[in-house]
Amino acid sequence: MKIKINRIYFNALFVVITCFLVLWKGVVYAPDSEGYLSMSIYRSLGYPSFILFHKALFGSRYVYFVLLSQLLLNLGAIFYLKNKVQQILNLPFWKAFLFMLLLAIPLFYEIHVANGLLSEALAYPLYLIVLAHLFDFLVTKNRKKVILSAILLLLLIQVRGQFMFLVVVLFLAVFVSEMSFKLLKKQIGILVFIILIPFISVGIDICFHKIVHHKAVTTPWTGIQIATLPFFIANQKDYLEFPSTEQQDYFRFIYGRLEQKNLLLNQFSDDSTTKMDYYFSHYVQIANGTLNNDGESFFKNNHVLQEDLVVVNDKMTSSMTMPLVKAHFFKWVSLYFENICKGLGTAKNVLLILFLCVFSFFRLLSKPIPALKIIFIGTLLVLGNAALVALAEPTISRYLFYNNWVLLSIVLLLFDFSFYKKEDE
């Protein structure tokens, strides 16, 4: 009875401290907040709709209720995942409590995820709930759990497109749950639905913009993001890679602007920093300041309507990405891998995570125990998220914090006596 009271006390203390710190800090506006608040065309359905709901319900004071909702959602999701993992792995209270603290770090440190008027505030709790159902499915093989994970993933992708990588993780999780191609045949319907998630997501995105912005397009901005690194490594003669005159003219114009601002890799000569650090520190100037702002100026001069500029510019940058990547493939791959390594700390960290991923997978072939399944999926989450983010953005903590709890949680598992006991049975 005393132990149970102590558990309630610790959990209550955690909730009180968390609520106090989050509410004391208050609402945090970021440079990107305005796009969500005004439901701009370059924002996807999820978070702007969340904001709109609070505006309709609470009027001019809606931001305070947004903060409260975000706090409750994040707290609820943290407790939900903690309880699910504790139940699955039969963790002692102190380890479950440590796990909960790891999940809660983004609420207190650096990101302050519950305070910001940013999509991360909604994405993080949704992500944790998706994982809770996914982990449950890995152990119970309850089809309803993986179907629920897939449906919630559809919603999560509308909040932040970076979670498209979870489609692959979900697919592999179904395989891991069975560890047999014969048994896998029973899950064909689920696998087909998982494969269709990207296509359904795109359809929802197009419908949203057609209804709200009267344009049947996907959320524009992705083209600018994925073209940033290829333009950074480009050379002056790369205009020859493009078949159309408009593409060639656009390339010359953007390349000239990047050259004027000293934002090209071939202009890099600073021995005090690395190429990737230079790219990180100048990313906003390349993507926002040049590809976006100057790119729209190019089309404005060609008499494109103001409301169409962002869409036309996004399509142009998208069409130019692959030719530039092919022209400098090895250079692009090298910087892409450096981007992943920088986000995860070092190349050694990446190799360690890869080792844990491969090791846990092969151990699963002979010992399909819950802990190994969670380690395998956890490492996939880290690698998959970093790999997708690195295609479009610098791998800063804003995009990678979702999985900061994974490695330390794996350490807790590896040092758990029950883990070894179950393995030997």
State whether the Cα torsion 371-375-376-381 is positive or negative.
positive
- Between CA 400 and CA 384 the distance in angstroms is 10
Smallest CA-to-CA distance from 291 within 324, 265, 260, 253 is with 253
Residue 353, pLDDT > 50, answer: yes
pLDDT in tens, 139-189: 888 889 999 999 999 999 999 999 999 999 999 998 887 765 556 677 788
Question: What does the pLDDT read at residue 27?
Answer: 95
- 425 pLDDT band, cuts 50/70/90, is very low
Question: What does the pLDDT read at residue 179?
Answer: 61
Contact present, 283 and 394 (Cβ < 8 Å): yes
Smallest CA-to-CA distance from 42 within 255, 288, 339, 281 is with 288
What's the rounded mean pLDDT across residues 70-96? 93
- 380 pLDDT band, cuts 50/70/90, is very high
Identity of residue 391: L
Long-range contacts of 85-88 (CB under 8 A, 24+ apart): 85/132, 85/135, 85/374, 88/135, 88/136, 88/139, 88/370, 88/374
- Where do the domains of the chain lie? 2-215+339-424, 222-329
